[in-house]
């Protein structure tokens, strides 16, 4: 088209498209789910805008917030249309090609190793999955602020945008037309589409309608010529029958009305989903299977992995809301990278079933960003701007309850795990399959999200003790397994007052540390902290259950030893000499200690100073 403006895809997007086009991935179905999810997002956006400005919805069909799927078997076109917010020309250019999202390169990288295409939606590039099944795609879109445009691409590195002067006006919204490849003919089959929508899009909150064919029987005037033909054939086929019967048949034929029934194909919209809102139902009525599916649709994660746990509850009182929280089976690819930047929560906020936002950072503290879920409140006002809502006083109450419920859910995960119990007998008795399934689930949680718990201890003073209970670590006596503070305390020797720990880069390195010599000999257990974040953690975690933490490489380690006093006396001269020789800006003090067994001396950090390992961390950060 002469008026078309041509653009090149951003390089990473182009690479992504190459991968998709050449993919041998067998599950190409995912494109439909991605398109429906985009349509639903666009509908959410217009519905949200309409809360404060009714005008944006327009009138007539434009007010119907729905998704429509149509097939053209002859031309091999599958089209998906929504009456959502639509895209301006600028939106089309940016969103579908020239601006690569942060997830693009991460996804490309993943696909080149062993990635699962199924996760495409999580990386924010779901749209491009259309090229799994189509070799030519048109996106027709009308936004309230602009004219109607057509975006088109054959995935050859370029796309074009033209003002649309030939298609029917959409009113508002977007229609995606997929010109299916020959191998993708199955997506022209209505049954297949119905099955896919049921499978992947049952939790979409807008009606999804299919332009479905229907065979109807219809009475039409009987065609004279045709009936003669029929008579002839019946005569020839019954040549051996005797004449009498033939006459009777003829007589009957004449009595028949001059019409006949024919099958005819008509089309009508067929609703494919029932718009389930699981969170409005009583938790008792929702099955595990339903929760699993709901999680997958929320998380855009369609792998086989089930969420580790969920919590579905109904909060009553001053602030009423319903919520479902999930612990995902795995940490998202960028959880701890963007944590330090501006990662948003993964909670969707609804007010009276209307989707408001999934970018509300006011609902959960940062350290719980790994949770997925949804909050639907009847208390929050509907007709105010997002900014006003963000400042609404009820949000504080909601947040407090959500944190409490989330921590309860994690605690239960540990309590139900047979591996977590100290009681060996109990561990051996519980052999049912359900128990087996729960075996090791907390260690799995810890491996994926342990860091979040540690960040929580640092950030959330109110819940510090609750979070400390969830902490796991290895010790000099844990035999390669994870253990908890409660378990540590239960094993403490009667002579031991403080909780001993040491920090370092690795377990192997720590195990050789001279600081542990004496403690090991005396059979004291020492926590081995090997994650850089542990250093920060221990600056916030001062005590637990009335016990203080003592870094064994720092000043203040007290071990009962009757000989210490004597030794101090007899070596007084030597320690004095050392101190004056090393000068005061090198060391603060020189002391006789009972912490060593074989090593003659060791450098210890002062009580409030950085540990040696912390010095190392700080040094590497300033480089
Ligand atoms: P994501 O949905 O995660 O943002 P996609 O690749 O699926 O990523 O879509 C890219 C962007 O294109 C969307 O963020 C949205 O801005 C735009 N978009 C896609 N489909 C539609 C649609 N049907 N209506 C309006 N905008 C759309
Ligand atoms: Mg999408």
Ligand 1 atom at shortest distance from the alpha carbon of 39? 23
What is the residue-wise DSSP string for 288-324?
HHHHHHHHHHHHT--SSPPPSEEEEEEE-SSS-EEEE
Average pLDDT value for residue range 126-148: 97
Predicted confidence at residue 340, as pLDDT, reads 56
Predicted confidence at residue 353, as pLDDT, reads 87
Give residue 239's pLDDT band: very low, low, confident or very high (50, 70, 90). Answer: very low
**Nearest CA owner, ligand 1 atom 20:** 38
Predicted confidence at residue 125, as pLDDT, reads 92
**Nearest CA owner, ligand 1 atom 12:** 95
Give residue 553's pLDDT band: very low, low, confident or very high (50, 70, 90). Answer: confident
Ligand 1 atom at shortest distance from the alpha carbon of 34? 7
User: pTM above 0.90?
Assistant: no
**In angstroms, what is the C-alpha Rg of the chain?**
35
Predicted confidence at residue 428, as pLDDT, reads 55
Please check the confidence at residue 401 and state whether its pLDDT lies above 50: yes
- Whole-number Å distance, alpha carbon 121 to ligand 2 midpoint, is 6
Give residue 231's pLDDT band: very low, low, confident or very high (50, 70, 90). Answer: very low
Predicted confidence at residue 548, as pLDDT, reads 95
Task: Give the E-state strand segments of 467-580 in sequence order.
Answer: 474-475, 499-503, 527-529, 543-544, 547-551
Cα separation, 483 vs 472, in Å, equals 5
State pLDDT tens for residues 17-49. 999 988 877 789 999 999 999 999 999 999 999
Ligand 1 atom at shortest distance from the alpha carbon of 82? 23
What is the residue-wise DSSP string for 10-65?
PHHHHHHHHHHHT---S-TTHHHHHHHHHHHHHHHHHHHHHHH-GGGG-SGGGG--
Predicted confidence at residue 461, as pLDDT, reads 96
Edge-to-edge order in the sheet of strand 543-544: 474-475, 527-529, 499-503, 547-551, 543-544
Higher pLDDT, 305 or 622: 305
DSSP helix/strand/coil, 198: helix
- 124: Cβ contacts below 8 Å, ≥ 6 apart: 101, 102, 103, 104
The region, left, alpha or beta by phi > 0 then psi within -120 to 50, assigned to residue 317 is: left
467-474 LR contacts (CB < 8 Å, sep 24+): 467/407, 468/541, 468/544, 469/411, 470/407, 470/410, 470/411, 470/414, 472/442, 472/443, 472/446, 473/527, 473/528, 473/529, 474/507, 474/527, 474/528, 474/530
Q: Provide, rounded to the nearest whole percent, the portion of the chain with pLDDT above 90.
A: 56
- Whole-number Å distance, alpha carbon 27 to ligand 1 midpoint, is 21
Give residue 424's pLDDT band: very low, low, confident or very high (50, 70, 90). Answer: low
Q: Are 279 and 291 in contact (CB under 8 A)?
A: no
Predicted confidence at residue 238, as pLDDT, reads 47
Cα separation, 323 vs 373, in Å, equals 7
Q: Provide, rounded to the nearest whole percent, the portion of the chain with pLDDT above 70.
A: 90
Whole-number average pLDDT of the chain:
87
Residues with CB under 6 A from ligand 1: 34, 38-39, 41-42, 82, 84-87, 95-96, 124-127, 174
- Which of 33-42, 87-96, 294-303, 580-589 is the least confident region? 580-589
Please check the confidence at residue 400 and state whether its pLDDT lies above 70: yes
Q: Are 623 and 606 in contact (CB under 8 A)?
A: no
Q: Any known ligand binding at 22?
A: no
Q: Residue 195 corresponds to which tokens in the numbers above?
A: 């099955």
Q: Any known ligand binding at 294?
A: no
Predicted confidence at residue 188, as pLDDT, reads 97
Average pLDDT value for residue range 221-242: 54
Predicted confidence at residue 193, as pLDDT, reads 96
- Whole-number Å distance, alpha carbon 124 to ligand 1 midpoint, is 8
Give residue 429's pLDDT band: very low, low, confident or very high (50, 70, 90). Answer: low
Q: Any known ligand binding at 386?
A: yes
| End-to-end CA separation in angstroms for the chain | 56
Give residue 236's pLDDT band: very low, low, confident or very high (50, 70, 90). Answer: very low
Predicted confidence at residue 40, as pLDDT, reads 96
Task: Give the E-state strand segments of 390-498 in sequence order.
Answer: 474-475
State pLDDT tens for residues 313-347. 999 988 999 999 999 999 877 777 765 566 677 89
Predicted confidence at residue 161, as pLDDT, reads 98
Predicted confidence at residue 232, as pLDDT, reads 47
Q: Residue 421, Cβ neighbours under 10 Å: how many?
A: 15
- Whole-number Å distance, alpha carbon 321 to ligand 2 midpoint, is 27
Angle at 297 between CA 337 and CA 174, to 5 degrees: 95
**Nearest CA owner, ligand 1 atom 17:** 95
**Nearest CA owner, ligand 1 atom 23:** 39
Q: CA torsion sign, 40 to 42 to 43 to 47? A: positive
Helices vs strands, H then E, count in the chain: 22, 19
Ligand 1 atom at shortest distance from the alpha carbon of 124? 3
Mutate to test the pocket of ligand 1, among 17, 30, 33, 38 (most ligand atoms within 8 A of CB): 38
């Amino acid at each position: 088209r002469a008026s078309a403006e041509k653009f090149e895809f951003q390089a990473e997007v182009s690479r992504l498209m190459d991968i998709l086009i050449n993919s041998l991935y067998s599950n190409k179905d995912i494109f439909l789910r991605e398109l429906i999810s985009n349509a639903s997002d666009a509908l959410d956006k217009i519905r949200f805008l309409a809360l404060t400005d009714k005008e944006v919805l327009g009138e007539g069909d434009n007010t119907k917030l729905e998704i429509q799927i149509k097939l053209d078997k002859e031309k091999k076109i599958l089209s998906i249309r929504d009456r959502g917010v639509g895209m301006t020309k600028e939106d089309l250019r940016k969103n579908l090609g020239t601006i690569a999202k942060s997830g693009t390169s991460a996804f490309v990288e993943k696909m080149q190793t062993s990635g699962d295409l199924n996760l495409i939606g999580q990386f924010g590039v779901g749209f491009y999955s259309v090229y799994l099944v189509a070799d030519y795609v048109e996106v027709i879109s009308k936004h309230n602020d602009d004219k109607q445009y057509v975006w088109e691409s054959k995935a050859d590195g370029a796309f074009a945008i033209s003002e649309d002067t030939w298609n029917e006006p959409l009113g508002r919204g977007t229609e995606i037309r997929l010109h299916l490849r020959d191998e993708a003919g199955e997506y022209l089959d209505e049954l297949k589409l119905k099955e896919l929508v049921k499978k992947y899009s049952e939790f979409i909150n807008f009606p999804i309608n299919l332009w479905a064919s229907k065979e109807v029987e219809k009475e039409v005037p009987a065609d004279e010529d045709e009936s003669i033909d029929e008579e002839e054939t019946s005569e020839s086929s019954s040549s051996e029958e005797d004449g009498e019967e033939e006459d009777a048949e003829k007589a009957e034929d004449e009595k028949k009305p001059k019409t006949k029934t024919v099958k005819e194909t008509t089309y009508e919209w067929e609703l494919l989903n029932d718009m389930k809102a699981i969170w409005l139902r009583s938790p008792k009525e929702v099955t595990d299977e339903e929760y699993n599916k709901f999680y997958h649709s929320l998380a855009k994660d369609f792998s086989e992995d089930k969420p580790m746990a969920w919590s579905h509850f109904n909060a009553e009182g001053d602030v009423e809301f319903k919520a479902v929280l999930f612990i995902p089976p795995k940490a998202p690819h960028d959880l701890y990278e963007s944590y330090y930047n501006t990662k948003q929560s993964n909670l969707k906020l609804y007010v009276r079933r209307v989707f408001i936002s999934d970018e509300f950072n006011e609902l959960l503290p940062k350290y719980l960003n790994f949770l997925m879920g949804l909050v639907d409140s009847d208390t929050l006002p509907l007709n105010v701007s997002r900014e006003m809502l963000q400042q609404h006083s009820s949000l504080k109450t909601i947040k407090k309850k959500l944190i409490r419920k989330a921590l309860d859910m994690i605690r239960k995960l540990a309590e139900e795990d047979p591996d977590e119990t100290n009681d060996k007998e109990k561990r051996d008795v519980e052999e049912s399959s359900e128990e087996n399934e729960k075996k090791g689930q907390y260690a799995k949680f810890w491996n994926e999200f342990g860091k979040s718990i540690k960040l929580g201890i640092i950030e959330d003073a109110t819940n510090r003790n609750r979070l400390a209970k969830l902490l796991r670590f290895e010790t000099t006596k844990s035999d390669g397994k994870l253990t908890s503070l409660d378990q540590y305390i239960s094993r403490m020797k009667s002579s031991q007052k403080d909780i001993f720990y040491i920090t370092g880069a690795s377990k192997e390195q720590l195990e050789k540390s001279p600081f542990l010599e004496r403690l090991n000999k005396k059979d004291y257990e020492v926590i081995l902290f090997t994650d850089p974040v542990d250093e920060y953690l221990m600056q916030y975690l001062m005590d637990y259950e009335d016990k203080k933490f003592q870094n064994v490489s720092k000043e203040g380690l007290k071990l009962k030893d009757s000989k210490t006093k004597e030794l101090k006396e007899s070596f007084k001269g030597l320690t004095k000499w050392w101190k004056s020789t090393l000068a005061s800006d090198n060391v603060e003090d020189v002391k006789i200690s009972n912490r060593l067994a074989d090593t003659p001396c060791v450098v210890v950090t002062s009580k409030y100073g950085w540990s040696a390992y912390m010095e190392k961390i700080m040094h590497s950060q300033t480089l």
